[in-house]
Structure formats: structure tokens, C-alpha cells
Structure 1
Amino acid sequence: MSSPKSRAQSSSVQVPPDYITGTGIDKHAIENTLVLGPHWFGSIPVEMADLFKDDAEAPLCFESSSALASHSWVSKNLSRSFPSSEVRNSPVKWADWIDRLLPWFGAHWKRVGIYDVILLSKQSINRDENLLAASLCFWNSASNTFDFRVGSMSPTLLDMAQIFEFRPHGRPVDAIGDYHRRKNQEKLSKPFTVSLAVINQNCSFSNYMRKFSVEKDKDQQHMLFLLYWLNRFVFPNRSSAVLLEYRHLAEALHNHTDVGLGPTILAHLFKNLHTATLDDPNLAASLFPGTKVSRYSSA
């Protein structure tokens, strides 16, 4: 009996499965022994087809000639979409910074709803890249769901609130900080006054902690602490550095207790899931010749 691979190679024309309509997925699975990813028991309803057209391409870990090609995809896409939060060779420990500020701001963290998640950041969590990669094979960016045979599953705002205590509603996260600058709007009692140039000069995680964990002004140190926490643990970035785009959010978390973090954090999670699975249309086109390039391709 010929092997699944030899049967696939013997085909005169290799036609990739259509992950929008469901055509050919079962045949592809049989010929290649195993396929991880969305599986449709029949075609998608006509009224849903348009929703899935642009974002329902197969994840980048698939190849048309083999069941799974995750080795290079994991190291490239996964590491840049979910960067490590480890800080090596730093003389200042993050846990120590938390412990120093806890007597001053612990009660405030509880009112804001970030107390437990800040303390959780003291624990080291090892990322299982292979397990994460396997789960992402089921991710569908068209609906922001994991499409399993038992049905669709997805993290929700209530999950953010129940697991991490991030508020699902409240004061919106404002990237430019104009919520406290407009006429007749409340003013911040403690605005960010640390030089932005100095922060940029010390933006690496290790330099940042060394420079700002000893800030004498407790209010400014707390906002610097929150800015570091947001960049390293809540919204990690590919550069593994402290970015100023979350400065106004750090201000808001220091001055207010009703900031609705949940929607923004969930949106960031969805964005990273999309980046890890679909954000390289050129690679997707090479894996599935003839597939349409996503609208997210760069010019």
C-alpha cells in the first residue's frame, strides 16, 4: 500500500484545500494523514461567506505538500508576535521593585483592578512554543475564534475580568491623552513630568529599571513603574523595550480607578494572534499557490 505522501506526490495537479468554502479539506486530510486547523462539516452558509473571504486563509504553518511545517514558522512568526518578557543580566529585579511600591500603592492597585495581575508578573512563566503553535493552527482571524470540531471558542471580555480582573468597561484607554486636556474635562492631579527624551535614552528593560526604579518622586516612580509593566507584561512588543505610546495609559492608571483595560488588552491579543498566523501574505501565497493575497499585505 502506498504511503499518504507518495499518493499526494503521484497526483498530477496539487490543488490546495479551500478554507473559505470547505472544499477539499477532507481530501487534503486523508492524503496528508493529519491536518491541524479549522474543519468544516460541509460548506459555509452563503450569508457568512463574505465575512470569511479576506481573513480565513489557512495559517502559515501549513504546506500543500506536507501535513505541518511548524519548525520555521514557530521560530519566526511566533517569537516576534509573542516576544519573551525575560530580562537578562539586569542588576535590578522586577520583583523587588514591586515589593518596594506595594506598601505605597497596593491599595490603589486593588481599586484599579490590577493588584493580582501585577503580583502575578513576579512569577516566571515558561512559554511552550510548540504547544502554543499547535493551538494557533486552529485560530481563525475572520471571527477571532479557535475553530474546533466541538465548536468555536474564544477569550472574551468576561474572561479578561474573571481571570485577570481587567475592567470590561469604564474610562476608555486614550492613546493621545486628550481625555484630560479638553475644555471642561477633569485635569490630572499628577501628570507625567519625566523627560520623554530621557526615557527614550533608557528604553531597554534593564537600563529602564536601573534608571527609574530609584526615582525619588513616588508619584513619578509609580507611573514609570506602570509604563514598564504595561510594555513588558501587558502589551509586549517586538523590540523588547519601553515604548512611550502607553505613557498616557500609565498616567490614567495612576490617577483614576475606572480605566477599562479589558477591551484594549483583548484587542491587542487578537492582533497578535492575527500577526502570528496570517500577517505574511507573501509566505502564504508561496505555501498555497494561487491563493488571494490578504488585504493586510504591505504596499
Structure 2
Amino acid sequence: MVEPTGNEIENETVVEEREELMVSPFANGKPCLRTAHFLKPTLSSIHEPIPDLFPLSPSSLHDSFCPEQWPLKVSFTGWSNPKKAWVFWIDILRPVYQPIWEKAGIFEAIMSSTYSTKRYYNLVIGLAEKWNPGTNTFIFPWGETTISLENVLILGGYSVVGFPVTFSGDSQELREAQDKLVTEHKNIRGDTWRKIFLTEWMDYFIGSGRDIEHEAFLSWWFTRFVFQDSVGFICKSVFPIACLLARGQVVALGPAVLASIYRDLTLLKETIADSTKYKSAEFDDCVSKVTLCSPMKLVQLWAWERFPALQPKPNVIQEFDPRSARWNSVKFVKVENVRMVLDSAGDTFGWRPYAKVVNNRQCLEFYEKEEWVSIDRNLIKELVSFALFLRPSELVGLGPGCIQQYLPHRVTMQFGIDQDVPSHVARSNKSPEIAWNNYLRPINGGKLYIPSRFFGSAVTVRY
């Protein structure tokens, strides 16, 4: 069983370098001819049609921004804050299993599950209004942005490399561990054909010392905090992933989490648009409803990192704390009109918040200095991750049909890269297998460009 790394060599380049007339999008400076760097693919010819941005239709928005008064009911079942018993279970297992969590790339994600994020409903709704399902990006009057693989890695602690979430394992040891979980599931259930509550599962295993307590713990974490498709119940479909992680194998949770967030932002956007046909929320049958199962709190954390006018005072964090610890239990900043704040945020938007030094924490390898890095089989995981941040791909989630397109070449300034007019990217989503092969296709081109964390990216004149 060999973990996929994504750094095999072939013929596709990620970044191209060329001279272009560049201009700052938020200043009145003159165009300047300089060497610039762009994410592929860009518009290659003036005769090539510019991809449609799918502009927002006024009819899809409510006249005034008062989401609490709209005929709209949103259930955030994937927005999970920790219970004391969960933190206690982590404290029991951490002394023994932290090295395995670190090896599997889930230590920060598990520790992040101990943090609480109070939901700012108006902010989430305001962002969803700007969501463009055709490009999986936010379209603001001042520019285009999105929540990216970078965000789910830095804020969520979810690896972007490793086995796909659809991988069930191929060893006898894994099959035996999965069978034990299924057997214990039957023992808890008894003679009835019912679902097992998460509370039952935890009460049965916590501190029990059973030989599969660790796998049971990871199954609970995965169901509660990563992919909650059955509200309040343990999900047997996560047993294979839990058994993989329990053996220190890395699973690419990042693209799967991001796929679920993209899916839910689209569902929320469509439901907001649908709610405009009702005049009030007085009657329950005149209300648009939606249930969101993804960890949507990451969308709010993404916004807090980037919109100063909406940013609470962050916590001071220690060197080895997860980035999300900055926002643990902070009180959100309430503004009168979130829509107006978002529409006017172009001059202050934080394009690269993770490139800044916070509380003297060392920046990651791909934020430090400008350089061209040779791509070979010895490329470190951090730089492989950075290359995956930059490359258009398909994201495979859990559940039927959860395949979403990832288009970072539309939002290159988020990575310290110059922005040109983005070109169309064909889909590779006929099956989860085809989509996964597209995501983990070889990273090539001889060298990978890493921008300095101090670099101020710009846009081409034609953009």
C-alpha cells in the first residue's frame, strides 16, 4: 500500500513566466512592463472568447439585506462545536496516539475540533449571495476570490495529498479492523435495525481500552467534524478511512472537504434565490429550506482572515497551535449591512493572510522567499501541497456525485501570483476515479515558482 504523493513527472507546467504590461487593480498607477508570473491556463489569443463570469442577477437577491427576516431557514448540521466529553476523549488518547495523528496529517485537524466558532449568520449569507456556482468563486464588485485548498489545509488542518477518501484499503489488517468496527456497531445496536447515536458510540468506547478504541474515536471525529451526512448518528461508511488514519496513512481530506463546501455554497446560493419568491416567513410552507452538512465554519474563518472590517480581535496563539486557534470562542463583529461591507472591501481585502508572521510563528516553506524549485520525486510535501493549491483540478468528495471543479487560476492573487484573463478548463468528472486521477495527475514542468511573501501581485492590462 503506497501513499500517493502527486509529485511524479510528466509534461504539464503550473506557472508560466513572461513580460506583460501590469497594473495594480486597487491603485491609480500607470501600467508597467515587467516580468510576471501567471497560473495556467490563461487566455492565449485575443480571438479566444472570454469565459462568462455568470454575473449575479438582481432577481436572485433580496432588496434589503436582512437575512433574519427572509423566508429562509438554514440548518448548519456540519457546523460542529466541541462538547466536554469530546475534549476529554482527545486528552485520553493524545499521549499515546499523537505521533500517529501527526504521521497521518490529522493532528491539527483533531486539535482544531476542540475550538468553538460562534456562527455569524449574516456573514455566511452575505458570502453565499456572492457565490458563483459556475466557477466556484465569490464574485465581488472589486474582484473574484474563493476558499481554496490552501484554506482547508491552513485553517482546517486537512491534508491535500494522500489516498482518496473513496479508498477502502487492500490489506488483511485493514479489513479485520473494519470488521471489528462493524461487529461492535452491531453489539451496540442489538437486535434492532436502527442507527447508532454519536453519543451512544462515544459512551461505549470512551476510555474503554478496547483494541479498536482508536479507530472508533477517529470514526466519531470523522462523522462529527469532517463529513456529517447523517445528523447525530455514527456513519459506517467512514470506517475504512478511520482504519487507514489509525495506521498513520495520509488521506487527502482537504479536496473532499472543499468539494463539500463548494456543494453547500451552491445549495445555499440557490436556496437564497428561491426564497425571493416568498414575501414573508410567516407560514412554514412559504419558506425556502436547506440543510448544509459540510464544515461551513471554515468559510467564516476564511472571511475573518481576509476582511478587516469583519474581523474580531484574534487570540494570541503559541508557536505550535493550529491557525484556527486565533478564532477560538471570539465574539464576532456585528455590522449593520454585511452586503455593503463586502461590496466595498476591495482596498482592504487580505489576499495573502497566511504569508504574514503571526505571533512570531514561522511561515511555511512556500511563503518564505521567491525561488524556482526543481520538481522531482524528492519534492517535500509542503511544496507538493503548494503546487496542488495552484493547479485547476477536480475535487472528489464523499457521497454520490460530489465532484466539484477547482479553478485557482481565476484567483491567483491569493497565492502571490499575477492575474491574467483565465481561460476555460474542461471537466474531468465522469466518475470519481477519473476525477481523482485528474486531481493527482503528475506535477511537472521542471521547476515550480514560489513567490516571496512580500510580493505585491498585479493584473494584466487586458484583465
What's the TM-score once normalised by structure 2's chain length? 0.43
Q: CA deviation at 1:147?
A: 1.0
Instruction: Label 1:253 to 1:138 Cα distance change in 2 as closer, same or farther (>3 A).
Output: same
Q: Does 1:67 align with 2:58?
A: no
Task: Select the residue among 142, 148, 171 that pairs with 2:163.
Answer: 171
Q: What is the Cα-based RMSD across aligned positions, in Å?
A: 3.4
Residue 249 and residue 143 in structure 1: after superposition, are their counterparts in 2 closer, same or farther (change >3 A)? same
For residues 136-155 of structure 1, the aligned pairs below 5 Å read 136-155=128-147
Cα distance in structure 2, aligned partners of 1:233 and 1:47: 39
Equivalent residue, structure 2, for 1:286: 277
Code of the residue aligned with 2:111 in structure 1: it is L
Q: How far off its partner does 1:285 sit?
A: 8.2
Question: Residue 201 and residue 60 in structure 1: after superposition, are their counterparts in 2 closer, same or farther (change >3 A)?
Answer: farther
* 1-structure distance, mates of 2:154, 2:81: 26
Q: Give the match for residue 200 of structure 2.
A: 207
Matched residue, 1:223:
215
Aligned-partner residue type, residue 235 of structure 2: L
* Inter-CA distance 155–229: structure 2 relative to 1 (3 Å threshold): same
Distance (whole Å) between structure 2 residues aligned to residue 140 and residue 204 of structure 1: 36
User: By percentage of residues, which structure has more strand?
Assistant: 2
Alignment of 1:85 with 2:80, yes or no, is: yes
How far the C-alpha of 1:270 sits from its partner, in A, is: 0.9
The 3 A distance-change label for structure 1 pair 205 and 140 is same
Kindly indicate whether residue 268 of structure 2 is the aligned counterpart of residue 265 of structure 1.
no
Q: Does 1:160 align with 2:155?
A: no
Task: Give the aligned residue type for 1:260.
Answer: A
Is the partner of 2:155 in helix, strand or coil?
helix
User: How far is the alpha carbon of 1:75 from its aligned partner?
Assistant: 5.6
Q: Does 1:191 align with 2:210?
A: no
Q: What is the CA deviation profile of residues 87-137 of structure 1, one whole-angstrom value per residue up to 9, with x for unaligned ones?
A: 77xxx7110000000011111111111112211211222111122112221
Map of 2:4 onto structure 1: none
Report the counterpart of residue 109 of structure 1 in structure 2: 101
2: CA distance between counterparts of 1:72 and 1:238?
29
Query: Matches of 1:150 and 1:103 in 2, distance apart?
Result: 48
Which residue, 91, 97, 111 being the options, matches 2:89?
97
* Distance (whole Å) between structure 2 residues aligned to residue 75 and residue 132 of structure 1: 13
Q: Displacement, 1:189? A: 7.7
> How far apart are 1:86 and its partner, in Å?
4.7
| SS at structure 1 position matched to 2:231 | coil
- The alignment partner of 1:170 has SS state of coil
Residues 57 and 278 in structure 1, CA contact (< 8 A), matched pair in contact too = no
- Separation of aligned partners in 2, 1:203 and 1:188: 22
Q: Deviations over 1:147-176 (max 9, x none)?
A: 11221111222332233332212211116x
Q: Distance in 2 between matches of 1:75 and 1:87?
A: 27
Q: Distance in 1 between matches of 2:92 and 2:71?
A: 38
Cα drift, residue 69 of structure 1: 5.6
Q: CA deviation at 1:210?
A: 1.2
Q: 1:159 and 1:169 mapped to 2: Cα distance?
A: 14
Do the aligned partners of 2:60 and 2:276 also contact (CA within 8 Å) in 1?
no
Q: Percent identity?
A: 24
Q: Take 1:130 and 1:259, find their aligned partners in 2: how far apart are those partners? A: 34
Q: How many positions carry a matched residue from both structures?
A: 226
- Which ranges in structure 1 are unaligned for 5 or more consecutive residues? 1-44, 288-295
Q: Alpha-carbon deviation of 1:186?
A: 7.5
What letter matches 2:202 in structure 1? M
Q: Distance in 1 between matches of 2:95 and 2:175?
A: 21
Distance 1:76 1:285, change over 3 A: closer
Secondary structure at the aligned position of 2:234 is classed as coil
One-letter code aligned to 2:64: A
In structure 2, distance between residues paired with 1:58 and 1:174: 37
User: Partners of 1:277 and 1:246 in 2: how far apart?
Assistant: 28
Are 1:76 and 2:105 counterparts? no
Rounded to whole Å, the distance in 2 between the matches of 1:263 and 1:59 is 32
Q: Is residue 61–residue 68 contact of structure 1 (8 Å, CA) maintained in 2? A: no
Q: How does 1:246-261 map to 2 (within 5 A)?
A: 246-261=238-253
Whether the 8 Å CA contact 1:95–1:122 is kept in 2: the answer is: yes
Q: Which runs of 5+ in 2 are unaligned?
A: 1-47, 279-400, 402-463
Structure 1 Cα separation of the partners of residues 71 and 119 of structure 2: 12
When you count helix as a share of all residues, which structure comes out higher?
A: 1
1:52-104 CA distance string (max 9 Å, x none): 4xxx77599724xx334622658613x24x5442577xxx7110000000011
Aligned-partner residue type, residue 71 of structure 1: E
**1:204–1:61 CA distance, 2 compared to 1 (3 A):** farther
Q: Partner of 2:226 in structure 1?
A: 234
Contact 1:61 1:69 in 2 (8 A): no
Q: Decide whether aligned partners of structure 1 residues 99 and 190 sit closer, same or farther in structure 2, where only a CA change above 3 A counts.
A: farther
For normalisation by structure 1, the TM-score amounts to: 0.64
Residues 222, 238 of structure 2: 8 Å contact kept? yes
